[in-house]
Amino acid sequence: MGKLFLALAVCALWANAAPWRETKSFLLPKDRLVKVLVKSEGQERLLTFRWTLYTDKALVVHESFDRFVGQHILYASHANQSFRKRLLPPGKSEKDVPYIIVVFKKFDEGEKTAQMDLFLIDKENRIVLDYLTEK
């Protein structure tokens, strides 16, 4: 019985392995623009995001990708701490859509900087990211 439990636990951990293929962390002061060149299938598109306001533990983030703009209010350590951006239409199935998730991790009150992490989920390796913004 113990061996069966151990085997099931190992399988569960393996199945829950990190779904992202790439990650990058940014420590951003107010209005510092992050630029990421998204290369795929013979095309290049620019993804940008920046934060403009931090108040009441909420971070206001502006983003732009492929001529579409958005604004998000994110909270660290809360259910609404990230935004997701679809990068391409589905390949073989809807489950294979490549996308990025930008997560607000924490805010440093003293330095007035926000830590934001970017995760690339791309099971079919259809996307290459070039970071045009330094850390």
In a domain, 24, yes or no: yes
Provide the number of structural domains found in the chain. 1
Mean pLDDT, range 10-17, rounded to an integer:
45
More confident residue, 11 or 133: 133
Query: Which pLDDT belongs to residue 123?
Result: 86
In a domain, 35, yes or no: yes
For residue 72, count other CB atoms closer than 10 A to its CB: 19
Determine contact, residues 89/111, Cβ cutoff 8 Å: no
Range of the domain at 80: 19-131
More confident residue, 134 or 101: 101
In a domain, 47, yes or no: yes
pLDDT surpassing 50 at residue 109: yes
In a domain, 104, yes or no: yes
In a domain, 37, yes or no: yes
In a domain, 76, yes or no: yes
In a domain, 14, yes or no: no
pLDDT surpassing 60 at residue 41: yes
More confident residue, 1 or 119: 119
Here the CATH number for the domain that contains residue 106 is 2.60.98
- DSSP 3-state percent helix, strand, coil across the chain (nearest 5): 15, 55, 35
Give Cα 122 distance to the centre of its chain. Answer: 12
Q: Decide: helix, strand or coil at residue 112.
A: coil
More confident residue, 92 or 8: 92
Query: Which pLDDT belongs to residue 124?
Result: 85
pLDDT digits (tens, 9 = 90+) for 77-105: 888 899 999 998 776 666 778 999 999 99
| Cβ neighbours for 103, distance < 8 A, ≥ 6 positions apart | 81, 82, 116, 117, 118, 119
User: What average pLDDT is seen over the chain?
Assistant: 85
In a domain, 92, yes or no: yes
pLDDT digits (tens, 9 = 90+) for 29-38: 999 999 999 9
